[in-house]
Structures are given as C-alpha cells and as structure tokens.
Amino acid sequence: MTVAKAPDPTEQSRWRPLRLLQEAMDADIARIYAQARIDGLKPSWVMELLRLHARGPMSITELAESVQRTHSAMSQKVAAMRAAGWVRTVTAADARSKQVMLTPKARRVAGRLAAEWRATEAAVAELEAEIPYPLSRAVSDIEAALARRSFRDRIAAKLAADPGWAGTGPAAAGDPAADQG
C-alpha cells in the first residue's frame, strides 16, 4: 500500500534563486581570498572589518547600528570573528559594554579587503550594466513597495485566504493563552 505524500511547498521558491545567487557570489569572493592566502575570512565579515578599520574601535551596539544589523546578530558575528582571530573585544571604560577592535591580522589585510570591496562593487556595477533591470533598482523598487504595504501585511493577507492556515494553532483551538501577548 502506497501512502500519498503531502505536496512539498518548498519545491517552488521565488526566494531560492536570489539566495543561491548570493551564495555563489560570496563563494567566488571567498575563492579570491583563498587565492590571496587570506585564510579563515568569510565574505560576510568584511563590511564590519572595514568599518572598524575606517572608524576605529566601536561598541557592539555602535558597530551593529553602523551596518544596520541587530545587536544580537552583531554579537554573534563578533564572537565568530573573534574566534577566527579577526577582532578582539575589551571591556569598555564604563564596564557595561565591550569595544570591538581589529587584531594585527585584520589590520595587515585591511587594505587588500578595501581593494576587494571596491573591485566587487565595480563588478556588480558591470553586471548591472549588462542586464535590462539593475538589481539595485529592483531592491529600491521592492523597498518602496514594502513602504506602501509591509511584507508582514502581505503574508498575513495571503494566510487569511489559505485554508491550510485558517483554523489551526492554539488560538483556533480556544487556547486563551494564545490571545495574550
């Protein structure tokens, strides 16, 4: 007897190609670092390393705000960069926060990372010139559309019309705790 399997909604995705493109581009940047013998560096750390190089030591909060990340995300990233030897942290004078600073290892390659950043931006500009609708314009247009109606509101409207969502969860079962929040 064969049991019918539920359809897998993840088989189709409008997000996946964008995520895979970003991963492929980051992998190419990582290959550039490997060829240059800049070992143990993730492309996703370079903005923060360059920001620290340009502005000097910063608190985790200041660094997070400067690159538009949450404190929690930046704290995790700093921990990973510290473990890899790119930054170090010291307790600030007020003893309530930590200052993040580059290690000598990071300072030695900061000029090369800045060069890679400029080259990457130039390569993206070159790519955008080759396509009919630049990605940076698509991002701006999406941001404008989301300013008119949030992504959360768009998802909620779709869920309200989806019978697979309606009538499920604690609130539908009359769980009074689900209404508290």
**pTM (2 d.p.):** 0.79
Tens of pLDDT along the chain (181 residues)?
A: 677 788 898 888 888 999 999 999 999 999 999 999 999 999 999 999 999 999 999 999 999 999 999 999 999 999 999 999 999 999 877 778 889 999 999 999 999 999 999 999 999 999 999 999 888 899 999 999 999 999 999 999 999 999 889 765 555 444 444 444 4
Q: What is the pLDDT of residue 90?
A: 93
Residue 119 amino acid letter: A
Q: What is the pLDDT of residue 172?
A: 47
Determine the Cα–Cα distance for residues 70 and 143; give it in Å rounded to an integer: 19
Determine the Cα–Cα distance for residues 38 and 84; give it in Å rounded to an integer: 12
Q: What is the pLDDT of residue 180?
A: 45
Q: What is the pLDDT of residue 179?
A: 44
- The full set of domains in the chain, from first to last, is 20-130 (1.10.10.10), 133-165 (no CATH)
Q: Which residues contact 91 (CB under 8 A, 6 or more apart)?
A: 97, 98, 99
Residue 87: φ, ψ to 5°: -135, 165
Q: What is the pLDDT of residue 94?
A: 78
Determine the Cα–Cα distance for residues 52 and 69; give it in Å rounded to an integer: 15
Cβ contact 42:32 at 8 Å: no
Residue 99: φ, ψ to 5°: -95, 135
Cβ contact 30:43 at 8 Å: yes
Number of other residues whose CB lies within 10 A of the CB of residue 15: 7
Cβ contact 74:52 at 8 Å: no
Number of other residues whose CB lies within 10 A of the CB of residue 30: 15
